[in-house]
Amino acid sequence: MNCDLEENEVFWIVLKSPDPPTQILGSFSSEESPYYFNKSFRSKYSVQFKHRLVINNISADELGVYFCMSTRCPPKFSNSSRIYLNITDTSRLCSAHNETSLEFTDHIETQWNIIFIISPLMITSVLIIFLIRIG
């Protein structure tokens, strides 16, 4: 997934209803490795050039709305991308089976809604990054 922000540092965040937002990682334009907010995310997510998020071996566990945000105040938010499961019941057609596919779509969320949801998370993130940098 592309991050459409021209920033040196960004956070990748996923929204999975009804859970609160989850920080995945911090990505830096320097040669630094990303900072993973949960060690288990290392095997699932990676970052490429220009903060591009890659999801390895995608499954239903990764369904949600993904976006990146700047680490500075006030934050900037990217357009979001939604990964969802599309189940089509074709039993009324010739044969009885379900076709299941994961679909990825770009979806523009209202930035004010995202800001309202993410503000407490963003403040905590900035403090964590600050403490890591001075530590």
4-45, pLDDT tens digit by residue?
Answer: 898 899 999 999 988 999 999 999 987 778 999 999 999 999
Q: Is 64 within a domain?
A: yes
Long-range contacts of 42-50 (CB under 8 A, 24+ apart): 45/12, 47/12, 50/2, 50/3
Q: Parallel, antiparallel, or unpaired for β 80-89 and 22-28?
A: unpaired
Number of compact structural domains in the chain: 1
- The answer on pLDDT for 55 being more than 80 is yes
Q: Is 48 within a domain?
A: yes
pLDDT digits (tens, 9 = 90+) for 68-120: 999 988 888 888 888 877 776 655 544 444 444 555 555 444 554 555 566 66
pLDDT in the model for residue 98: 44
- The average confidence (pLDDT) of the chain is 78
- The answer on pLDDT for 131 being more than 60 is yes
pLDDT in the model for residue 24: 94
- Which residues constitute the domain of residue 125? 9-134
Q: What is the pTM of this model?
A: 0.65
pLDDT in the model for residue 100: 46
Q: Is 57 within a domain?
A: yes
Which CATH number characterizes residue 67's domain?
2.60.40
Q: Is 4 within a domain?
A: no
pLDDT in the model for residue 118: 62
Question: Are 5 and 68 a contacting pair, CB within 8 Å?
Answer: yes
